[in-house]
Structure formats: C-alpha cells, structure tokens
Amino acid sequence: MTLLERTRYLQSAPDPVTLEGLQERIDSLVDVLSEHGQLYYRQDEPIITDGEYDGLLNSLRALEELHPVLRRLDSPTHRVGSAPLDGFEKVAHPEPMLSLGNAFNADDLKAWYDRCLKRLEIEDGRPTVALTAELKIDGLAVALTYEDGLLVRAATRGDGRVGENITQNVRTIGNVPLRLSGTNVPRQVEVRGEIYFPKSAFEALNDSLRSRDQKLFANPRNAAAGSLRQLDSSVTASRELALFAYSTGPATDPVAPSQYDSLYRLREWGFGINEHARRFTSIEHVVSFCESWTDKREDLDHEIDGVVVKIDRIDLQEELGNVSNAPRWAVAFKFPARESSTTLNDIIVNVGRTGMITPEAVLEPVVIGGVTVSQATLHNAAYIMDRDIRIGDTVVVKRAGDVIPAVVSSVTTTRDGSEQIWKMPSECPACSEILEQLEGEVDSYCVNGACPAQFIRLVEHFASRNALDIEGFGSKLAVILVEAGLISKLQDIYSLDRDALLALDNFGEKKTDNLLQGIEQSKDRALAHVLFGLGIRHVGRTTAETIVGTLPTMQRIAASSAEELTAIEGIGDVIAQSLVDWFGREPNKILIQAMEDAGVRMERSEKEATPSGDDAPFEGLTFVVTGTLPTLGRKDAQDFIKQRGGKASSSVSKKTHYVVMGDNAGSKADKARELGVSIIDEAELLNMGGA
Ligand code: IVH
C-alpha cells in the first residue's frame, strides 16, 4: 500500500478493540506520521495538509493517553513537548566533547597543517592527508545517543565531560530523527552536532516577544540556548530550532573511513548536514575556502563564527590524537570580529518621515571589520532603557554586512560615575514641537505636520525608486529643494520652475533639464507606486499593491470606508484606519487633486490589473528571483511574474514554487537547494509565461 493509501485507511478505520490491534494501530500511526514528517522536513514536499497531519497525530495521542505503556520512543507525539521538569539531570559523556584550537589567518592554518604532517611523518600531504572544511555553526553542541536506531538521550556539551539531559526538548526539534533510517546503523551510536536558531526565525521570535512586551534575545545563539534550556518542552517545541549533525562519537561499529564520508552517512540516517562542507587536497584551497566565507556568511540563514578544518581520514585523526582538551587533527579558523567596544560620546535624535524619533549613538570612532564606525543606531528609547546604556559608557558596537551598525550593549564594569542617563528630548530637534507617545507604542513622534525634517524625508521617499521613481532625485536634492523654499508641499514637485532651479548653486542646464524630464516621466508610474509614495503610515509597497489589486483608482481608495478596506485580504484594522484618516485630511485632498491636475496617474494601469484564466499561467505560484538575469532586470522579471498572476517574493521558503536563478546568485540559490525548491533560469521563466 502506498503512503497515501495507508493514510486514508487510518483516517477512516474504526477504533481497534483488542490490545494487539491497538499496538498495531499505534505502530501504523507512528510509521505513517514519521514518513509524512520526512516528506515535510527533508523533502519539503508534504502530500497531506497540516490539518490532516494533526488529525492523525491527535488519534495517536488519544490512543497513547489511554495506554501510556504503548507509547513508543519514536512517537511523533514527543515532538510537541511533554510534562515540565523540575530541573535537568546531569549526564557524563562517555567520551569527552572536546573544544578546538584556533587559527586567525592563513599562516596559522598552514602552520597547523605542517604540524600535522610532521607528526604523521609525511613530507608532502597531497593527496594522502586530505582535509575537510565545514562551516562552524554558531549554536550549541549536543550529543545524541541512539540505541537500536532510537533516540534515547540528548545531552548538552556542558563542561565537555558532564552535560545536561535535554532529551525531551531535543525530541521536539523537527529535523532531529527520532529513529534513524538507512543502512549500517550501529547498535549504539552517538551523533554530535550543533543546534541553532535560523536568523529568519530569530527575527520573527523577537518580533513576537516585542509585541508581547517580553524580553528579547540578543542573538540567535542566545535564543537557541534559551529555547533548549526550557524545563517546559512545549516552549521548545514552539521555537523553530534545527540541528546540523557534523560527526559521530562513540559507536559499537565504525561509521565511515573519513570525516567527509561520515557526513554523508549521517545524511543517510536522516540528519540535516550543512551542505557547504568540502574536501580538499591542498591547504591553499582550504585557505581560499575560509576566506571566501568571511563575507559570504552574511547570506546564510544561520550564524557561523568560522570554519572547522579537519584532517579527513579517521585513521590519521586517531594517529594524531589529542592535546589536553582539543584534538590535534582539527582547528577552528575564526572570522575577524564584527563587534568592537568604544566610548559612547553622545546620543542625538533623528526625525523620520512619519515623525518617528530615533536615537542615534555618536561614537568615538572605531574600526570594525576594516570600516571606521562613528555613528550607530540605538533603535528607540525603550532599547536604551532596557540595556541601561548611558552617555560616556563603553559600549559594544556590532556591524554586520550592509546592516547599519548598532550598539548592542554597554559595559557597566568600567563606569566611574560620570556617565549620564539619557532622556528622550521633549521637543522635536527640527521644529521644537512637543513630542508625543502614541498609545500602545514605544516610540516618540513629532506630530507637527509641517515639521521640516519630516517633510524632507517625505519628499525623499516620494521620489524614491519604489515610489514615483524620479531619476536623479535623491536625499541630497530633497534637502536642497526644501531648504531653498522651492518645495514646501509635495505637489510643488510638479510645478518646479526651470529658472528657479537654474538659479541654485551647481544647477546647470543639463542637470535641470534632466531633473524636469525625470519628474515628467514619474507621472506615468503605476498606481501602487503613487499610493506608496504618499507616505501613509503602515502602507508599504506590498500593501499598496494589495489595495490597488482590488481598488483600481485613487478616487475609489480615497472614498473607501475602513470596513470596505478591511474586506480586502491582507488589510487589517490598523492599515485601514490609517488610510481613512489620511484621505480625510484637507491638505491631503488638495495634494491628490493637484497631482491629478498635473497629470500623475490616478488609475491602475493595465499592467497592474490582476490577470486571470489564460492570462494567468502563474496563478497560485510563488517565485523568487535571484542573481543577475541575462536580459530582464530583477524588477522586470518580478513584473513579468505578477502580470501573469504569480507572486514574486523576496525570500525562499517551503512555500516557494520556483527560484529563478541568474548569475552570481547567493544564498537564495543555496536555500532553494537545501529545501529542494525547483530552480529555473530566465529562458524557462519566459517560456512558462508564454513569452
Ligand atoms: S567538530 C573535537 N565541526 O565548535 C571537536 N565543531 O570549539 C570537534 N562546532 O562547541 C568539533 N560547527 O559544537 C565541529 N562543523 C563543526 C562545528 C563544530 C560548530 C562547534 C562545536 C564546539 C565548537 C568547538
């Protein structure tokens, strides 16, 4: 019988009456649910709905509750957590979990390899002394013991000799096999790996903690640790933890002749392994691999803090042995720090487009990862208070990739009493309006509709790429035009006087005419861009597209009540009310009229209409475009998808149907491979779309 046939049978079978029948039913339910779990977690191709899965799980749970002795160790009911513990039991590791020596640069790595060769009495390592390089996952090390293929114990590393028993919690992690599959499974084997919190899930967790006014986790590693050390395993179950297995510990039979082969054996058994592991025969290639990940790490959906380099052959590893608490046969290449400490000289505030006031740190300049940082964000007043950050403090500043540097914490031990507690100013720094805190929000706002700082930001936003997309109109120009008095209301953009522009410093004929031409062209932007450009609170780009998908003219949008707006899928009360308020204000009515008079598009273009039927070959499909496509730009490719009824999303998930890959595709292509999402190229996209 196929899996689906067995599933259908279980969904409709009458309750078993004999004890034997009961055990058989429990066995079938466990098997069928485990197979569905595999399809979901490993292949990302579930064949039943979440509701159907839960239905089967509930019938299994009901049977187990009636007869607890029949509950199997690999029952998926363990995944949802069990009764809270009073504390964690200590467990001694049969073989210590060692730590690693560090290498900070190419020379350190080469010196380590030379030491290995010398000890092995081998002159030239190639190809006998191959190396495996793996990403060093920044999570928590665990040791999982399997007996007869069943997960019987999971322990933290602890001090390397004694850890804590966290079996109940680890059983809730979706990609940890409760029973090993495949061949050559030793009767008893310990599997070691790293439990981590994906970055995306970490951000979602902090968002949800923030919305409930709960304490946030500082980084994904802390979130993983905090989630694993829960006495109530149902809390762990609610967190999206995952495991990368990287080696085996003590086992009753040898697992594989090399580290690289062990990884593939682990994968056969059902574990997630990190797919970026590579085997090399020269240390120079290992060095390039390590250096390349120093930058690429930003693209991964999990944190790494280095690369672990291991002598590949297990017999050579054994020959090399250990020194005190680290193996000689492995070394951790550590990336340069992305954090550094410096003095917080002052805190100033910025005024955003919506009037939101954001504090910013003025720092004693410090070099982090090769870049000098003198300003960093402090997010909001609550952030500063929660972390007790004071002016004059030594603070830790983090810089990651393209992200704006941020102050992450203050060092309280170096205080001498001269530090000052910062207070949110009571007035707007740009217009002196008394700042207000809106009900239920942590941020302070300048509510003066005529505040010049807010207005400059609004003009900048109006002209930006996803809004009216006015060529050559960036933030500097917004400041110049507003400060020169040429723009005092948004609609002034459409009646700029050529002579007045020419009279400005550095405005020649060419620059002026280009700007005026850019403004002219902006009148034909899609209605969703125009709506987004107005800078209405809570109306982002996607929301604007959603609204325009149902309401085809600015007039209809302006005339809609909150009820009519919330009837649109994806539009909630907050957005609806914000729109109603905005369109209700007199100056805004005048703005819309003036824009219409100037000839700005106020109706949905044909391209924006939601296609259906034959015009919608992509209906129900979600695409992610990544890398550089040969002819279509990314934006054009996304439009192509949308015009044919598809959804163009920016991040790859289980819900993605196709990843359209161009040159130099980064982590999204990796993620697609990881999740088994189909990868197509531009030609295939065009073909599927009937172009
Ligand atoms: S192998 C004998 N491989 O790094 C030590 N460790 O300092 C063998 N880690 O806490 C460790 N990713 O949990 C190894 N691919 C990887 C790893 C890795 C992360 C952690 C490990 C330990 C620390 C070692």
pLDDT at 371: 80
CA 308 / ligand 1 centre spacing (Å): 7
pLDDT of 119-160, one tens digit each?
Answer: 999 988 888 999 999 999 999 999 999 999 999 999 999 889
Across the beta sheet with 647-649, the strand order is 647-649, 622-626, 658-661, 678-680
Closest CA to 307 of 112, 512, 551, 513: 112
* 165-169, 202-206, 365-369: range with highest mean pLDDT: 165-169
The encoded tokens of residue 654 equal 């289980």
* Helix, strand and coil in the chain, % to nearest 5: 40, 20, 40
In the predicted model, what is the mean pLDDT of residues 215-230?
A: 86
* Pocket mutation for ligand 1, best pick of 95, 246, 286, 329 (most atoms within 8 Å of C-beta): 246
Q: Which atom of ligand 1 is nearest to the CA of 157?
A: 10
Considering only CA atoms, which of 37, 89, 42, 78 is closest in space to residue 172? 78
Distances (CA, A) of 349 to 231, 311, 356, 360, 432: 42, 53, 10, 6, 13
Q: What's the token pair of residue 534?
A: 């107005």
Q: What is the pLDDT, as a whole number, of residue 451?
A: 92
Q: What is the mean pLDDT of residues 440-466?
A: 89
Q: Which atom of ligand 1 is least distant from the CA of 310? A: 1
Tell how far the Cα of 102 is from the centroid of ligand 1, in angstroms.
11
pLDDT greater at residue 171 or residue 379: 171
Q: What percent of the chain has pLDDT over 90?
A: 64
**pLDDT digits 0-9 by tens, 309-345:** 999 999 999 999 998 889 999 999 998 778 889 999 9
DSSP H helices, 176-310, are 199-211, 220-228, 233-237, 259-269, 283-296
Cα-Cα end-to-end distance for the chain: 43
Residue 454 binned pLDDT confidence (cut-offs 50, 70, 90):
very high
Give the residue, by CA position, lying nearest to ligand 1 atom 13: 141
Dist. CA 122–CA 114, nearest whole Å: 9
CA of 631 to the centre of ligand 1 (A): 44
How close is the Cα of 26 to the center of ligand 1, in Å?
38
pLDDT of residue 601: 95
Q: Which two tokens stand for residue 521?
A: 């062209």
- Identify whether the C-beta of residue 270 lies closer than 8 Å to the C-beta of residue 180: yes
Mean pLDDT over residues 656-666, rounded? Answer: 83
CA 72 to centroid of chain Cα atoms: 35
The pLDDT, as a whole number, for residue 610 is 63
**How does residue 449 score in pLDDT terms, banded at 50, 70 and 90?**
confident
> Is the beta carbon of 669 within 6 A of some atom in ligand 1?
no
**Where on the phi/psi map is residue 130: left (φ > 0), alpha (ψ -120 to 50), or beta?**
beta
Q: Which atom of ligand 1 is least distant from the CA of 136?
A: 12
The pLDDT value given to residue 635: 76
What pLDDT is recorded for position 403? 65
Give the pLDDT confidence score for residue 617 in this predicted structure: 85
pLDDT tens digits for 368-405? Answer: 877 889 999 998 888 999 899 999 999 999 886 556 79
Q: How far is the CA of 332 from the centre of ligand 1 (A)?
A: 8
What are 651's two structure tokens? 């991040």
Give, using CA atoms, the residue closest to atom 17 of ligand 1: 136
Q: How many A from CA of 119 to the centre of ligand 1?
A: 23
Q: Is the shortest distance between the CB of 330 and ligand 1 below 6 Å?
A: yes
Backbone phi, psi, residue 142, to 5°:
-135, 155
Whether residue 662 is predicted with pLDDT greater than 90 in this model: the reply is no
User: Which residues, at least 6 apart from 400, have a Cβ–Cβ distance to it below 8 Å?
Assistant: 298, 338
Say if ligand 1 is within 6 A of residue 141 CB: yes
Contact 327 CB / ligand 1 (< 6 Å) = yes
Listed in sequence order, the residues at least 6 apart from 23 whose beta carbon sits closer than 8 Å to its beta carbon are 70
DSSP element (H, E) containing 103: strand 101-103
Rg for the chain, CA atoms, rounded: 30
pLDDT at residue 401, as a whole number: 58
Residue 187 has pLDDT above 90, yes or no: yes
Among 602, 605, 550, residue whose Cα is nearest residue 575: 550
pLDDT of residue 611: 65
CA-100 nearest atom, ligand 1: 7
In short, whether 246's Cβ falls inside 6 Å of ligand 1 is: yes
Ligand 1 pocket check for 99: Cβ under 6 Å = yes
Q: Can you tell me the distance from the alpha carbon of 320 to that of 313, in angstroms, rounded to the nearest whole number?
A: 11
Beta carbon of 302 within 6 Å of any ligand 1 atom: no
The predicted pLDDT at position 213 comes to 66
Q: Which residue would you say has higher pLDDT here, 127 or 560?
A: 560
Is residue 522 within 8 Å of 466, Cβ to Cβ?
A: no
- Identify the pLDDT of residue 77: 92
**Could you tell me if the CB of 194 is within 6 A of ligand 1?**
yes
When mean pLDDT is compared across 260-269, 397-406, 494-503, the lowest value belongs to 397-406
Contact 546, 568 (CB under 8 A): yes
**What DSSP assignment string belongs to 523-576?**
GGS-HHHHHHHTT-TT--HHHHHHHHHH--BHHHHHH--HHHHHTSTT--HHHH
**Residue whose CA is closest, atom 23 of ligand 1?**
99
Residue 384, token pair as written in the block: 């500063």
CA of 518 to the centre of ligand 1 (A): 55
Q: Whose CA is nearest to atom 4 of ligand 1?
A: 136
- Give the range with max mean pLDDT: 58-67, 401-410, 632-641: 58-67
- Name the more confident of 494 and 403: 494
Is the confidence at residue 629, as pLDDT, over 90?
no
DSSP summary character for residue 190: E
Calculate mean pLDDT across residues 208-217: 74
CB within 8 A of 307, min separation 6: which ones? 133, 134, 135, 136, 289, 290, 293, 332, 333
Q: Is-cis flag, bond preceding 127, omega within 30?
A: yes
CA distance linking residue 425 with residue 444, whole number of Å: 10
Summarize pLDDT for 84-108 with one digit per residue, the tens.
Answer: 788 899 999 999 999 999 998 999 9
The mean pLDDT value for 497-526 works out to 95
Q: How many CB atoms within 10 Å of residue 277?
A: 19
Q: How many C-beta neighbours within 10 Å does residue 108 have? A: 15
For ligand 1, whether the C-beta of 134 sits within 6 Å is yes
pLDDT at position 362: 97
* pLDDT the model gives residue 400: 67
| Minimal-distance CA residue to ligand 1 atom 21 | 141
Atom of ligand 1 nearest to the CA of 134: 15
Q: Compute the distance from residue 132 Cα to the ligand 1 centre, in Å.
A: 13
Residue 664: partners with Cβ closer than 8 Å, 6 or more residues away: 627, 628
Contact present, 170 and 154 (Cβ < 8 Å)? yes
- Classify 136 as helix, strand or coil: strand
- Decide if 654 is catalytic: no
Does residue 137 line the site of ligand 1, with CB under 6 A? Answer: yes
3-state secondary structure 320-360: HCEECCEECCEEEEECCCCEEEEEEEEEEEEECCCCEEEEE
Q: Name the residue of 100, 140, 279 to mutate for ligand 1: max ligand atoms within 8 A of Cβ.
A: 100
> What residues have CB less than 8 Å from 452, skipping those under 6 apart?
430, 431, 482
Asked whether the predicted pLDDT for residue 479 surpasses 90, the reply is yes
Cα 239 to averaged position of ligand 1 atoms, centre (Å) = 23
User: What are residue 134's DSSP bridge partners?
Assistant: 308
Mean pLDDT score across all residues of the chain:
90
Of 90, 110, 118, 136, the catalytic one is 136
Is 581 a residue whose pLDDT tops 80? yes
Rounded to two decimals, the pTM is 0.58
Determine the length of the chain. Answer: 691
Position 43 pLDDT exceeds 80: no
Q: What is the enclosing helix (H) or strand (E) of 460?
A: helix 452-463
For residue 98 and ligand 1, the question of a CB distance below 6 A is answered with yes
Q: How far is the CA of 255 from the centre of ligand 1 (A)?
A: 19
Tell which atom from ligand 1 comes closest to the C-alpha of 138. Answer: 19
